[in-house]
Structure 1
């Protein structure tokens, strides 16, 4: 009798998981700015189908260098369950290795324009979003952590909350890495451009209360120092924010274990 219970229980749990998991789409979003289409994974909660009158907040979830729109859902299928748990739409766009910038030297890398003037209007038109800044948040890992803070601070009219996981919030200590010079030019000859495009400098325009911020980084991450520097600068400027260091490195184990804390943070910040 006991054996039957143990065999049936996992089966029932698997049925429960399937019933509450959100729906995953991959869409093609036109980008006139770059003269091409951009893929984006969109995860809608189960209630999206069962409650057709409801509208939902959106969390934009950004991939890192070398990644794609499939990174998050491929490495963390539980995202569909999180969409249900927190009643949100999750959007994961492909951004190549753009650092989510508009490159001044490469006209096919205009991902700040894409994210702010093309992707958001597309989702707000094609999905039942709550289409205002109070119901829009953005976070990401590594390059995506930089992108999330960079875009949110520069476009506070679009986002009310932002986060960063292991974010490259100041890439100037790594001038030869991650194709940044292909976006901004060689650093010595283009120092002002580099300085203008790092998060740690972008935040100088930010006032406390304009954005809810959550920043975290592993204690064994090569970006730990630049995240600590960002934390200190935010403190010096009296910018309210949540800052967390947890054991771990620049790995999917770290990101898988900690992304849900960002989603909970955002859910608590959305208007009820």
Structure 2
């Protein structure tokens, strides 16, 4: 399988992050509207400063996540991309080595776990809480990252990606992207289509952590009712912005849906460049 050079991986990662910001993604920060005390410029800076760590030649998955989060915290002072880095780091390593993603995920060990746990503590994502096993705040040696992600998979879609060879990205994200292109949509509306697919298909993990599973399911159901029937070929900015304002006024940020969107774009770009993931 062809291996991609780190410089190209870095370029594709940065482009995926910036492309996601150009799209109208209801409830998230995007070019049409800020929100949740964050600006588009925070995410642009985050993409720029985390890209070298994400694509560093020879680095382990955990190192890429930890160093990307550290660079982001130093530059913008808050968590803007922990989920993005957790999803994109295995893709970057698989593309660099020219191996299937599953082989990278299967090899994640305690060193990766320790670095990823350090990244999570540094990012301090909202609503993290405590876990019965493999709590990131607990003392002692971190477990293998593969094991920790499998433990968290039932309650977190990013962890579930690690445990399922990125099933959600391949089925929901890539499927929505292909359909949007078949419908004649161009960026950034193809990206909006991907985000809407995640928002209407899955209860958002970030919302669930902060407000509970029932609220996350209610947000998904409301998005289905309000947005699932929209024809993006008509560029329904007004309807999307109305739902965007509704979520932001309520303090509801579907951050995991945005993270999955970035990772879908990154996976698509890597595959389009020859990576067989």
Which structure features the higher share of helix residues? 2
TM-score when scaled to structure 2? 0.32
TM-score when scaled to structure 1? 0.32
Which structure features the higher share of strand residues? 1
Report 1 or 2 for greater relative contact order, CA contacts < 8 Å, sequence distance ≥ 6.
2
